[in-house]
Structure 1
Amino acid sequence: MSDGATSKAHSGSPWQAVALTLFPDMFPGSLGQSLAGQALEDGRWTLETVDIRGFARDKHRTVDDTPCGGGAGMVMRPDIVDLAIRDVQDKTGGKLPLIYMTPRGRPLTQNRVRELAFGPGVAVLCGRYEGVDQRVLDAHDVEEISIGDYVLSGGEVAALVLMDACVRLIPGVMGSGRSHEEESFEEGLLEYPLYTRPTEWQGRTVPEVLLSGHHGNIRAWRREQAEAVTKDRRPDLWKAYKAASE
């Protein structure tokens, strides 16, 4: 296990992220920048990588084989992946939820992100080729999560998405403790439209209510806009929101 970045001493136990991957150099990627990168440097969270290929037993460091039953592509071997998983569990005390990023997983939600962010951290298995042998996923009761109905070249980008969503909720990472409370999905709604200066741009103006200084009216307008955009763009969310409200 190798450090994804150098971090300073931090009081308590920082949120811990571990990536099991064939391409450890893909981390920390974007998470080494901006607020997440500063929080990583400050020790508010840690990032480590486990190179799955390091557990291969032959001189060619083979981690995959042809799929049983035929078909295109290759499948990551259960024995090699199992060794990598056990290494992580031994070094973390088995306290981290183990997640496999895959299009067939349950969709990632803000509620699940919040649960993970408020826990000890997460260990993310990044697949490659056609995927990972099902037996090792079953053996370790791995949670399968999808970030959308599309296919990527590997799980590393999806892992970065999951980690980013969690890290920004860690106390002290974002500039304001309230900055995420009105974002999309926090209350089951998409976020309302945002505006800033200049108040007039290319003949388009900022809605007058936002310049009124009347906080009650502003809150009401934002709620109205959030409901409207959710109803229009995400009828599934709107249906769930209305059911919860009733």
Structure 2
Amino acid sequence: MTSNEGGVAREDINWRKDLISQLRERNRSQTNCFADLISLHNRLFESANTLRNTNMQLTIANETLRREVANGSIGIGGNPDLEARLLKQAEELAMLHKRKGEHTQQIVDLNNKLQEITKELQAKEISLAESSEANANLRLEITKCLGREKETESINQMLKDEHQALQLAFASLEEKLRKTQEENRQLIERLIKYKARDAEKMNEENDNFLRKRQAKMQKELEDAARDTRPVSPDRLSLKEVAGLPTAVPTKVSVTFVR
């Protein structure tokens, strides 16, 4: 079982426990308030049954006495105790009838009230069923939201990992760029050094060439000075004129600037 399925199972168990707790709380709250009424109703039924039995016994006793009086076996006029008993029983019978009527009315009122309470209880049960259904729908929606949240967290973590990987790749490329730039700088410095060496070498070769040329010209002048034959300007050839020394250079002619 995955962590997501385990979370859903725990949510389902918690939902069931919560619903059972709500039902028990409802039964407790809606039953306790009627406990006294139900107890009174039961006591009234028991009292009515007792009164009914007592009334039945008194009625039987009264009827027995009447039959005895009617048969002449007992004389009423000559027995004051019997008259008192009959009167007392008649009063008790009237009181029992009165109490029976009161109890009957109380029972009717209690039944009416019980019917009203039953209707209210049914309405509350319907409302509780609707609330339970709405609660179940909300919990299902919460479960879906939790699933979407976990999916979003997974996508977010994947994006974070990709971002971290891109950062590492960027850092690696940046390090490569830095190394490449450093190598390029070193290559440029080496190239500049090579060019400076070439320039120095070329300047040295130029200096050597100029010195050799100057020495040659000096030798030619000395040879010309030793030659005592007059030389007319007409005999001076263009080649000889071109070979005459000119101004000696005082600075390098070629250099490389870094």
What TM-score do the two structures reach when normalised by structure 1? 0.19
More helix by share: 2
The structure with more radius of gyration: 2
